[in-house]
Amino acid sequence: MNTLGLMGFGPDGWGYSMLAATGTTVAVAACGFFIGALLGCLGAAGSLSRFRALRSVADVYTTVLRGIPDLLVIYLFYFGSSSVISTASALFGAEGFVGAPAFLTGALAIGVVSGAYQMQVFRGAVLALSKGEIEAGRAYGMPSLLLFRRIVLPQAARFAIPGIGNVWQLVLKESALISVIGLVELMRQAQIGAGSTRQPFSFYLTAGALYLLITFISGLVFRFAEKRAMRGIRRCV
Amino acid sequence: MSFDLPFVAESFVALLRGIPLTLQLTVLSVVSGGILAFGLAFMRISRKWWLDAPAQFYIFVFRGTPLLVQIYIIYYGLSQFPVLRHSVLWPFLREAYWCAVLALAFNTAAYSAEIIRGGLLSVPAGQVEAARACGMSGLLLFRRIVMRLALRQMLPGYSNEIILMVKSTALASTITLLEITGMAAKLISESYRPVEIFVCAGAIYLAINFLVTRLFAWLEYAVTPKNRNSEERRA
């Protein structure tokens, strides 16, 4: 069968399963991305705080998670949580290895990794604010939270969009690694197809094309968001 | 879970044996990918659309797809074609080692090309004009003026790329290579103690990346004459 017939939507076609797997990829990447956004905010707040202990915790977090391979983090989360679950279920009489849920573990793992990158983006965005605006806010007597909500957040979000777009692309590609712990996302589905039809090139090429499609569309979305956020701002270059 | 120090030390030593392969993969792919990246960067700044367009397409494809897909296409995918299986290239493409090097090199070339392009574009036009006024042209101009200024600009971005490459070599473990991550997976299948072993492996990667950042910080310092002068003035 040629590649087009293979990826068709007929009874022998793999079209539906490849599209469903694409959906899983987007879902797990989005979950990981939002967990990362949360951790990134916390980390950025920590690294900009007055307390030395918080600053060093944030620093260690971002240095370590950006310094070790993502594959290792995914394995560590999977085997680590599986061994905890196995130990716990052994208490209730279950035997042997109990695997952790792949979607949750995968989303958590890429969330923790992308949080380290997002933290740097948020930190840079907050540092890019002009100091005078914050001082002016304080001079009006705004308390910290109000100042953050009214002055810091709207402007920092604007500065953060390009960097966040990069992290999203990174997360999307990282999600392919979750295939190693058995979640049937795009990469894993391509492996399954390649195994049962003996046409690995067709399947991996299709998977690559689908990834390209997602990155292309999300690139357009981020470009639009940036354009919208930057309206009314004079460019110096 | 108790912390078993002798076991940790033992697996740490076992993992050290994976370091040469990790470094080999990194160096081979960074060097060959770097050469390819220069070609791509020159194609991008050539102002000729028939050179620019293919380079842009290459970069779009390799930056837009996961490295794992690229590795699998080369290692598993190419065997689908009988023509390739019977060609002179097959002894190379059959080996997981060369497939990993090839995929990593193609991948880093796409990212590095953009870094190099950014560096080349950052060279101020006045500097080039001044050099031309002094009678320099072609390769001499490039070697003495453009390359030096561009190098300074692209070093920070390039150091990030090399750290990403060190981490990317971990993916070679998925096609049977026993570099640090592959070694770790093998040890785990023997001992069933994932946490200790993965923490050791992470520490090794962290140490390698720390050395890479130090090396680049030193390089950056060495190629910035401003620093050199202030050092001399202080002395």
Q: What is the pLDDT of residue B189?
A: 86
Among A71, A79, A211, the residue with its CB nearest the CB of B170 is: A71
The pLDDT score that the predictor gives to residue B177 is 94
B contact test, residue of A18, A26, A70, A71 with most B CBs within 10 A: A71
| pLDDT reported for residue A91 | 83
Q: Name the residue in chain B with its Cα closest to that of A180.
A: B174
**Does pLDDT of B204 surpass 90?**
yes
A201 has a chain B CB within 8 A of its CB: yes
Q: Does B181 touch chain A (CB under 8 A)?
A: yes
In degrees rounded to 5, what are phi and psi of residue A56?
Answer: -75, -35
The answer to whether the Cβ–Cβ distance between B80 and A173 falls below 8 Å is no
Question: pLDDT digit string (tens) for B82-107?
Answer: 888 888 888 888 899 999 999 999 99
The predicted pLDDT at position A3 comes to 64
- Candidates B205, B69, B162; CA nearest to A76 is B205
Q: Higher-confidence residue: A2 or B156? A: B156
B51 band by pLDDT with thresholds 50, 70 and 90: very high
Chain A environment of B211 (Cβ under 8 Å): none
Contact A151, A134 (CB under 8 A): yes
Q: Does the structure show a pLDDT above 70 at B3?
A: no
Name the pLDDT band for B170 (thresholds 50, 70, 90). very high
pTM for this predicted structure:
0.88
Q: Which pLDDT score is estimated for B72? A: 94
pLDDT at A5: 67
Q: Could you give the CA distance from residue A138 to residue A144 in angstroms, rounded to a whole number? A: 8
Task: Find which of A18, A72, A83 to mutate to test the B interface (most B CBs within 10 Å of its CB).
Answer: A72
Is pLDDT of B232 > 90? no
Closest CA to B18 of B184, B175, B193, B206: B184
Q: Which residue has the tokens 């707040």?
A: A45
Nearest by CB to B194, which of A79, A177, A216?
A79
Q: Measure B18 CA to nearest chain A CA, in Å.
A: 14
Tokens 């399954």 belong to which residue? A192
- Report yes or no: B199 at the A interface, CB cutoff 8 Å: yes
Predicted confidence (pLDDT) per residue in B121-149, tens digit: 988 989 999 999 999 888 999 998 998 88
Contacts 24+ apart (CB under 8 A), A55-62: A58/A119, A61/A115, A61/A116, A61/A119, A62/A116, A62/A119, A62/A120
Q: Does A72 contact B181 at a Cβ distance shorter than 8 Å?
A: yes
CB contact under 8 A, B173 and A71: yes
pLDDT of chain A, 237 residues: tens digit per residue = 566 667 777 667 788 889 999 999 999 999 999 999 999 999 999 998 889 999 999 999 999 999 999 999 999 998 888 888 888 888 887 777 777 788 999 999 999 999 999 999 999 999 888 888 889 999 999 998 899 898 888 888 888 998 999 999 999 999 999 999 989 999 999 999 998 888 899 899 999 999 999 999 999 999 999 888 888 776 655
pLDDT at A10: 66
* Angstrom distance (rounded) from CA B15 to CA B203: 11
**The pLDDT of residue B207 is above 80:** yes
Given a cut of 90, whether residue B226 has pLDDT beyond it is no
* pLDDT greater than 80 at residue B28: yes
Alpha helices by DSSP H, listed for chain B, are 5-16, 19-44, 49-64, 67-75, 82-85, 90-93, 96-121, 125-133, 138-141, 147-168, 180-191, 194-223, 225-234
Q: What is the mean pLDDT of residues B69-94?
A: 88
